[in-house]
Amino acid sequence: MSDSQDILVPDIGDFDSVDVIEVLVSPGDTVDVESPLITLESDKATMDVPSPVAGTVTEVRIAVGDQVSQGSLVAVVAATESSAQDTSAQAPAGPKDGAEASEDRPKEEASERTAQAPAQTDAPPQSDSEAPVPKEPNPTPPPAPRPPPSLPPVTESDSGPLPHASPAIRRFARELGADLSKINGSGTHGRILKEDVAQFIKSALSQGRTGGDGSGLPAIPEVDFSRWGPVATEPLSRIKRISGRHLQRAWLNVPHVTHHDEADITELDAFRKTLKDESAYAQVRITLLGFVIKALASAMKAFPTLNASLSPDGENLVLKHYFHIGVAVDTENGLVVPVLRDVDTKGILELATELGALSARARDGKLKPDEMQGGCISISSLGGIGGIGFTPIVNAPEVAILGVSRAQIKPRWDGNAFAPRLILPLDLSYDHRVIDGAEAARISAFIVSALEDSRRLLL
């Protein structure tokens, strides 16, 4: 005996309209509990949606390229009797009536299907002699249907994720010929509103004489590089496409200033190396970055504007009373920024262990959505690669970012002679609307003093 159960997308954090990049099952496949059904890709991580029951897949309602949210229908599984009994106490049975089922699904999903698909006619009634079929009277339309032929085609770029907009806004954009992929939404989670489309059209009309890409700047002319030799074209990774637009937006909107400084970490590095030689700490990879994180957390407490964000109207500061620090991690697909939480309450060893685990998951593309959210400030460390300094871009709405380059042995005057010292370059980029030059210099000096005398981290 089996019981058909709808498998829905579970809670995936503060994400909406996540892309489906892989469908791992087909109708007729047998799955176990926790067997992955589909793979989703958010802005900077991938995640599998597992089956909560064991049984046989009867229907797959998702295709590669679709976008889903919490509660979206993934598949229908004919659960085995034992699996159905195990899950009956944990979740109520799915609705049997087609109208009730449509009410349980997210209203936005139902609305979008209605706008994109032609109306469905009810199936003819069955005779009394026919056996009942466990099937919804109004089956869900196939995913990603084409718009009705009465509407003009959607004007959207195919070189990125689908824009986040309701069916009504998509219809409005079609009527005006607006490319939704070039519009930055001002609604919740970046949702495109009607006002955003209207403003985009006004901006495009005003730029008609000078060109541009929607940013108000003249467009870079297109060049045929093949005239001078062989070329090849390869697409940017999804992470680079998304982060690139975010960085460009931050660079255009935030008045960046970078303050450069150096810290003498000779004694600090000697102390770190003694920890490596002790058996109690042999299993933990203790790096200088852990000490930098603690020094930055101390600076965030001493200078509250460092742990703040500017309100959208630019009139107020949102002061945060928690201390979460994002650390940029280099991966094959680009930089991702997992967030270490409550760093002010954790020691160097705990931070080193947690950072190692987050970095490993980042390189494997297995970070959870909530592990990349809620950062108050970021650190971009190039110490393992090289360089003597750089200008990191502020990760708005944060107001500052600390860059760290490779430490080098340099001569320093000790009052009697030049002595070799290990010097760490530090680069503090900040939003000049929130932090002025004098305060940035004081913040940098505070961080330098904390690194040069690690006892200050205990204060």
Please state the domain extents for the chain. Answer: 2-116, 147-214, 255-458
User: 64-117, pLDDT tens digit by residue?
Assistant: 888 888 888 989 988 886 655 555 544 444 444 443 444 444 444 444 444 444
255-458: in CATH 3.30.450.20: no
Report the CATH fold assignment for 2-116: OB fold (Dihydrolipoamide Acetyltransferase, E2P) (2.40.50)
- Mean pLDDT over all residues of the chain? 80
Asked if pLDDT for residue 337 goes beyond 90, the answer is yes
pLDDT for the residue 124: 43
Burial of 309 from C-beta contacts in 10 A (0-12 / 13-18 / 19+): middle
Lowest mean pLDDT among 156-160, 237-241, 338-342: 156-160
pLDDT for the residue 246: 86
Confidence label for 126 from pLDDT (cuts 50, 70 and 90): very low
pLDDT for the residue 111: 45
Q: Which residue has better confidence, 159 or 242? A: 242
- What stretches of 311-397 adopt beta strand conformation (E)? 317-319, 325-327, 329-331, 334-336, 339-340, 377-381
CA distances from 384 to 64, 269, 290 (A): 38, 15, 14
Asked if pLDDT for residue 125 goes beyond 70, the answer is no
Active site residues: 432
CATH topology of 2-116 equal to that of 147-214?
A: no
Asked if pLDDT for residue 443 goes beyond 90, the answer is yes
**Highest mean pLDDT range out of 46-60, 68-82, 366-380?**
366-380
pLDDT for the residue 134: 47
Looking at residues 395-403, what average pLDDT do you find?
A: 95
Looking at residues 151-176, what average pLDDT do you find?
A: 65
CA distances from 251 to 319, 405, 413, 431, 436 (A): 22, 21, 39, 10, 17
pLDDT for the residue 44: 55
Asked if pLDDT for residue 209 goes beyond 50, the answer is no
147-214: in CATH 4.10.320.10: yes
C-alpha to C-alpha distance for 242 and 28, rounded to whole angstroms? 37
